[in-house]
């Protein structure tokens, strides 16, 4: 039985990837911070390695005997006092994951990035994700990089926030005109893409932009969530000139739901042509409304 070493397996996407690996008969070895074992979606066939990529001294041989490394660690918000920064968790953690993979002489390395990454991006999130990609490409390992758009699935932070607003709020606040576009992709599509790539020669040394088949505006996305919940969405548009300084002033407050980085990314069009991803890996795209309905079940 091929064994796969996974970092970030306790996260929203990581949990679904572990389920898909298990369904397809892979053995699992997961890097888990002590105390986070309960976040794993299954324990059968899972070997737990306690540790943290920010403290790599004890992890050098963590992937020995594994066929591949799947590196999923990432953050959407920084907490500098705790050492949780984009530089540490995107760039330096990737260096350590690659070191672990090289030591184990694995045949494949799969990497989670994000749609919109590029050199010189405005947001630090995208810049550090790009820097991590460049390190992967220069590593000498056989790699596959995935750049997902907004991922829609049960218990995902984005869908949870939106569905609560649509269910409970008399009006849903929208920053700006709400015409910025996104291309949501189903969680199960992302998981199947990762697992399928493990055995696909055509996925070697490729970077895939991963999205659903349907670009929608943010306004349209809210309306689809409302449709799936049987609720009429009433939007309250907030002008950018008001929101930018407000977010900048409050982003360091832990309970405030938005940062300047996130606002910058939200206002960018986050769309692509995902056909190479589906065609190469032989996957069927899930329409955005179906993805939303599955996430809300």
Q: Looking at residues 148-166, what average pLDDT do you find? A: 93
Highest mean pLDDT range out of 48-52, 182-186, 238-242? 182-186
Model confidence at 253: pLDDT above 90: no
In this structure, are residues 251 and 188 in contact, taking their beta carbons and an 8 Å threshold?
A: no
111 three-state secondary structure: strand
Q: What's the pLDDT at 187?
A: 98
Query: Per-residue b/e over 111-120, b at no fewer than 16 CB within 10 Å?
Result: bbbbbbbeee
Instruction: Give the model confidence (pLDDT) of 174-225 as tens digits.
Output: 999 999 999 999 999 999 999 999 999 999 999 999 999 999 999 999 999 9
Give the H or E element holding residue 223: helix 218-229
Half-sphere exposure of 183 (CA within 13 A, CB side): 22
Q: What's the pLDDT at 1?
A: 67
In this structure, are residues 140 and 180 in contact, taking their beta carbons and an 8 Å threshold?
A: no
Task: Out of 34-38, 84-88, 254-258, 270-274, pick the least confident.
Answer: 254-258
Distance CA 47, CA 41 (A): 13
Model confidence at 255: pLDDT above 90: no
Mean pLDDT, the chain, whole residue set: 94
Q: How confident is the model at residue 258 (pLDDT cuts 50, 70, 90)?
A: confident
pLDDT above 70 coverage of the chain, percent: 100
In this structure, are residues 225 and 163 in contact, taking their beta carbons and an 8 Å threshold?
A: yes
Give the H or E element holding residue 288: helix 288-296
In this structure, are residues 240 and 260 in contact, taking their beta carbons and an 8 Å threshold?
A: no
Q: Looking at residues 70-90, what average pLDDT do you find? A: 94
Q: What's the pLDDT at 251?
A: 82
Task: Out of 74-78, 259-263, 282-286, pick the least confident.
Answer: 259-263
Q: What's the pLDDT at 211?
A: 98
Model confidence at 233: pLDDT above 70: yes
CATH class of this structure's domain 3-149+187-210+272-284: alpha beta
pTM for the predicted model, two decimal places? 0.95
DSSP letter (8 states) at residue 181: E
Q: How confident is the model at residue 121 (pLDDT cuts 50, 70, 90)?
A: very high
Domain boundaries, the chain: 3-149+187-210+272-284
Model confidence at 7: pLDDT above 80: yes
Q: Looking at residues 94-122, what average pLDDT do you find? A: 96
- The tokens for 197 are 């790539």
Q: What's the pLDDT at 229?
A: 96
Q: How confident is the model at residue 89 (pLDDT cuts 50, 70, 90)?
A: very high
Distance CA 258, CA 102 (A): 37
Q: What's the pLDDT at 84?
A: 92
Model confidence at 239: pLDDT above 70: yes
173 three-state secondary structure: strand
Q: Looking at residues 95-101, what average pLDDT do you find? A: 96
Q: What's the pLDDT at 69?
A: 98
């Amino acid at each position: 039985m091929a064994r796969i070493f996974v970092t970030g397996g306790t996260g929203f996407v990581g949990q679904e990837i572990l389920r898909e690996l298990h369904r397809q008969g892979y053995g699992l070895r997961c890097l888990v911070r002590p105390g986070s074992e309960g976040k794993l979606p299954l324990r059968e066939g899972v070997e737990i390695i306690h540790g943290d990529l920010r403290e790599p001294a004890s992890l050098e041989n963590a992937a020995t005997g594994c066929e591949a490394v799947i590196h999923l660690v990432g953050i959407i918000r920084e907490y500098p006092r705790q050492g949780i920064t984009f530089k540490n968790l995107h760039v330096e953690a990737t260096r350590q994951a690659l070191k672990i993979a090289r030591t184990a002489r694995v045949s494949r390395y799969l990497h989670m990035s994000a749609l919109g990454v590029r050199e010189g991006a405005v947001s630090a999130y995208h810049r550090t994700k790009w820097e991590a990609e460049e390190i992967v490409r220069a590593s000498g390992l056989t790699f596959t990089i995935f750049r997902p758009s907004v991922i829609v699935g049960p218990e995902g932070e984005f869908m949870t926030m939106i569905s609560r607003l649509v269910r409970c709020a008399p009006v849903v606040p929208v920053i700006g005109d709400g015409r910025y576009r996104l291309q949501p992709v189903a969680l199960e599509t992302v998981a199947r893409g990762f697992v399928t790539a493990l055995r696909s020669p055509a996925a070697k040394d490729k970077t895939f932009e991963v999205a659903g088949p349907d670009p929608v505006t943010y306004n349209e996305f809210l309306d689809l969530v409302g449709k799936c919940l049987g609720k009429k969405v009433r939007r309250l548009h907030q002008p950018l000139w008001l929101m930018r300084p407000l977010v900048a002033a409050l982003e360091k407050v832990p309970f405030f739901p938005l940062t300047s980085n996130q606002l910058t990314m939200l206002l960018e069009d986050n769309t692509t042509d995902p056909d190479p991803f589906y065609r190469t890996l032989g996957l069927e795209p899930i329409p955005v409304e179906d993805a939303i309905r599955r996430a809300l079940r």
